[in-house]
């Protein structure tokens, strides 16, 4: 049994939160109602697996946006660390500063400053549509949401 427990179940209401992004702008989940929101909880800025995961998502960000998905990275690092990470990897989406891991804990993927890699997609109605530990591929996420590209002819 993991110390983090299971991810929040699909269909459950997503806990609301307000966090600042890497530019100091406030993001409130409930103000995004009506849009799909992807939260990518990851352990650390500029680490090998986190860099790979967020770069893969960067590379399909246009496709995610075309399916109405707003994406946010979330971890306890501060604004300066997030700013450097965004700049180094040209990330086109905000990174949220979860000081103390409070929001990660609400989403069953954090314990103090430890963060278990977890991806959530929250539907326009505020309910969780997708929840998976680890590093699901962008294709896996889109397929699970019924938004995968049609097969090539």
Q: Please pick, among 50, 90, 109, 140, the residue that the annotation labels catalytic.
A: 50
End-to-end CA distance of the chain: 44
Sheet holding 36-41, edge to edge: 26-28, 18-21, 95-97, 69-75, 36-41, 118-122, 128-133
What are the tokens at 58? 């960067």
What are the tokens at 6? 């299971």
Task: Indicate if 109 belongs to the active site.
Answer: no
Which are the catalytic amino acids? 50
């Amino acid at each position: 049994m993991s110390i983090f427990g299971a991810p929040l179940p699909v269909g459950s209401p997503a806990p609301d939160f307000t966090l600042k992004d890497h530019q100091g702008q406030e993001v409130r989940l409930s103000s995004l109602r009506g849009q799909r929101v992807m939260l990518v909880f990851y352990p650390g800025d500029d680490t090998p697996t986190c860099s790979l995961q967020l770069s893969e998502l960067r590379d399909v960000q246009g496709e995610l946006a075309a399916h109405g998905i707003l994406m946010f990275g979330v971890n306890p690092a501060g604004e300066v660390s997030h700013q450097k990470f965004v700049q180094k990897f040209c990330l086109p989406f905000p990174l949220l500063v979860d000081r103390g891991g409070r929001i990660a804990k609400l989403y069953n993927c954090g314990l103090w400053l430890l963060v278990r890699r977890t991806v959530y997609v929250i539907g326009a109605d505020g309910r969780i549509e997708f929840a998976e530990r680890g590093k699901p591929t962008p294709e896996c996420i889109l397929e699970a949401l019924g938004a995968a590209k049609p097969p090539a002819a």
